[in-house]
Amino acid sequence: MRAIWKGAVSFGLVSIAVRLYSATEEKDIRFHQVHREDGGRIKYKRVCSIDGDEVSYDDIAKGYDLGGGEMVILTDDDFADLPLTTSRAIEVLEFVPVEQVDPILYNKAYYLEPEQTAAKPYALLRDALTNTERVAIVKVALRQREQLATLRVRENVLVLNTMLWPDEVRAAKFDILDEDISARPAELAMAGSLIESMAADFEPSAYTDNYREALQEVIDAKVAGREVVQPEEAEEAPAAAVDLMAALRASVERARAARGEAAPAAEEAAEEEAEEPTPIKKTAAKKAPAKKAAPAKKTTAAKKTTAAKKSA
């Protein structure tokens, strides 16, 4: 690796001379624009949009678009007076708990290698960060720009992570999430089962860029003049289920089948119980109070007998 920057970490009154190296590299396959007929490279000229003349690099300045066709032109003299430190120093501002730094702020990563004379203070800062479980918040001038960054430890090496400024992170504002949306307990339980069935330790080396590998195969085949072997098509994903519980259950079964696992009997019973509707309690109807029996009416024959006795 080639060092892209040399300077020092300013840690209180301690100065640690370091070299900066890019910790990552993009593996994307890059292409040039060429003429389809003969493979000639396509070149672009720097042409002024007003007079049509080609412009040399010496005559190019920076312009800030105000809108409405107005442009403010800035020269090297305008940039010379800006408060950008020219010292090659990584200034430690404070030490914060690692969990307080939102990963969304991280931008690029660089390794710090100590100069031969700075190995001991380098190890001191590295071990102190490890023991306290904190990261150093620093400021550094890189590529004509002042940047906020962190110093942390990775595999026994100090890593400088440049960060976005807080106003460079967009607010996540989605009206649909302002609504009161919540999952049912049964759905949460099933989602938990799905997570557990897919739980694993993260091994970055287990993942590969299949598209890049296939594209490289196409390029190699072109160079060798052989036929390109089409990769096997991936298994089509099943159609999305309309019912959320059905989709979760199918996902759990699929994940377990891939691992050769079976659902625990206790869990199956819990899932069935979660799906059963709550029984409606029947309230016994109250009996109406019994009515008193009305006195029996005398019949016509009884009335005649009573009249005959009276006449006698």
Structure confidence by residue, pLDDT tens digits, 245-277: 788 788 878 877 877 776 655 455 445 555 555
Tell me, yes or no, whether 13 and 139 share the same domain. yes
Tell me, yes or no, whether 127 and 239 share the same domain. no
Average confidence (pLDDT) over 278-299: 47
Please indicate, yes or no, if residue 162 is contained in any of the structural domains: yes
Predicted local distance difference test score (pLDDT) of residue 272: 57
Tell me what percent of the residues of the chain surpass a pLDDT of 90.
35
Average confidence (pLDDT) over 207-216: 86
Predicted local distance difference test score (pLDDT) of residue 310: 47
Q: Which domain holds residue 202?
A: 185-274
Please indicate, yes or no, if residue 309 is contained in any of the structural domains: no
Please indicate, yes or no, if residue 72 is contained in any of the structural domains: no
Q: Which residue has the higher pLDDT, 234 or 90?
A: 90
Tell me, yes or no, whether 145 and 192 share the same domain. no
Provide, for the chain, the percentages of residues in helix, strand and coil under a 3-state DSSP scheme, each rounded to the nearest 5: 35, 25, 40
Tell me, yes or no, whether 212 and 90 share the same domain. no
Partners of 136 in the beta sheet?
Answer: 95, 151
Write out the H or E segment, with its range, that includes residue 305.
helix 300-311
**CATH, residue 161:** 2.40.290.10
Query: Is 50 exceeded by the pLDDT of residue 15?
Result: yes
Query: Is 90 exceeded by the pLDDT of residue 160?
Result: yes
Average confidence (pLDDT) over 103-107: 94
Tell me, yes or no, whether 205 and 158 share the same domain. no
Please indicate, yes or no, if residue 55 is contained in any of the structural domains: no
Query: Is 60 exceeded by the pLDDT of residue 307?
Result: no
Write out the H or E segment, with its range, that includes residue 73.
strand 70-74
Tell me, yes or no, whether 140 and 210 share the same domain. no
Please indicate, yes or no, if residue 70 is contained in any of the structural domains: no
Tell me, yes or no, whether 262 and 122 share the same domain. no
Please indicate, yes or no, if residue 60 is contained in any of the structural domains: no
Tell me, yes or no, whether 11 and 150 share the same domain. yes
Rounded CA gap, 11 and 93, in Å?
9
The pTM of the whole model exceeds 0.75 = no
Into how many domains does the chain fold?
Answer: 2
Tell me what percent of the residues of the chain surpass a pLDDT of 70.
77
Of 66-75, 128-137, 237-246, which gets the smallest average pLDDT?
237-246
Average confidence (pLDDT) over 142-153: 89
Structure tokens at 219: 């390029």
Please provide the average confidence, as pLDDT, over all residues in the chain.
80
Query: Is 60 exceeded by the pLDDT of residue 305?
Result: no
Rounded CA gap, 237 and 239, in Å?
6
